[in-house]
């Protein structure tokens, strides 16, 4: 019987997500418009930094960033794993609704369609919402302040990226996108 450690379960969830993400990228529509390399770098570097912060093992005596944010007797492992799974699942659901319109960077595809179904009924950027929930779950699993810092860095990274996407979508879809913006939140349903 296969036995997974606590860290192994978290790692398996992220690996499964990344494998799905890579495989589902096949067959997307060609780009009609792309963001610049500088624009991509402005949100990729912070998300890589956040990922590194989430994967650093505990460092005894490593200072405030490596101290626990939950009491010693509180085990956030299983609630954190549930948040990781829920967040990644939400992102996959969103990815499936985007279909061939998806891209890892900010692009407008040829024959791009405005998707407002599935999780896009609730938020305009559900992939980011799901990944942020998964990052929060991972922060709870590691239970170190550097994990909380990683969530804030990831939020900033996704906020930067979604502002670029929103501009592209407004320029592409005009009033249809403005109507969609008026009835949906950017990241957190019913809030913002």
Chain segment 68-102, per-residue pLDDT in tens: 888 878 888 999 999 999 999 999 999 999 999 99
Q: Contact at 8 Å (CB) between 154 and 50? A: yes
Q: Contact at 8 Å (CB) between 89 and 130? A: yes
Task: Report the pLDDT value the prediction gives residue 2, as an integer from 0 to 100.
Answer: 56
Q: Residue 105's closest CA among 127, 138, 135, 129?
A: 127
| pLDDT-above-90 percentage for the chain | 78
Task: Report the pLDDT value the prediction gives residue 45, as an integer from 0 to 100.
Answer: 97
C-alpha 28/C-alpha 156 separation (Å) is: 27
Task: Report the pLDDT value the prediction gives residue 62, as an integer from 0 to 100.
Answer: 81
C-alpha 52/C-alpha 58 separation (Å) is: 13
Report the predicted TM-score, pTM, of the whole model to 2 decimal places. 0.93
Whether the per-residue pLDDT at 56 is higher than 90: the answer is no
Whether the per-residue pLDDT at 136 is higher than 70: the answer is yes
Q: How far is CA 134 from CA 9, 17, 86, in A?
A: 13, 11, 7
């Amino acid at each position: 019987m296969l036995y997974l450690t606590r860290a192994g379960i978290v790692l398996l969830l992220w690996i499964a997500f990344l494998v799905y993400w890579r495989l589902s990228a096949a067959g997307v529509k060609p780009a009609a418009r792309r963001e610049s390399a500088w624009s991509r770098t402005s949100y990729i570097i912070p998300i890589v930094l956040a990922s590194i912060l989430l994967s650093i093992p505990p460092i005894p005596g490593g200072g405030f960033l490596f101290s626990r944010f939950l009491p010693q007797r509180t085990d956030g492992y299983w609630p954190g794993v549930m948040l990781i799974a829920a967040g990644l699942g939400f992102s996959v659901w969103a990815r499936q609704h985007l279909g061939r319109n998806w891209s890892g960077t900010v692009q407008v595809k040829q024959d791009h369609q405005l998707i407002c179904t599935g999780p896009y009924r609730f938020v305009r950027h559900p992939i980011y919402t799901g990944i942020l929930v998964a990052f929060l779950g991972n922060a709870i699993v590691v239970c170190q302040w550097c994990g909380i810092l990683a969530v804030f860095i990831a939020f900033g990274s996704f906020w930067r990226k979604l502002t670029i996407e929103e501009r592209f979508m407004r320029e592409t879809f005009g009033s249809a996108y403005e109507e969609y913006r008026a009835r949906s939140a950017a990241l957190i349903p019913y809030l913002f």
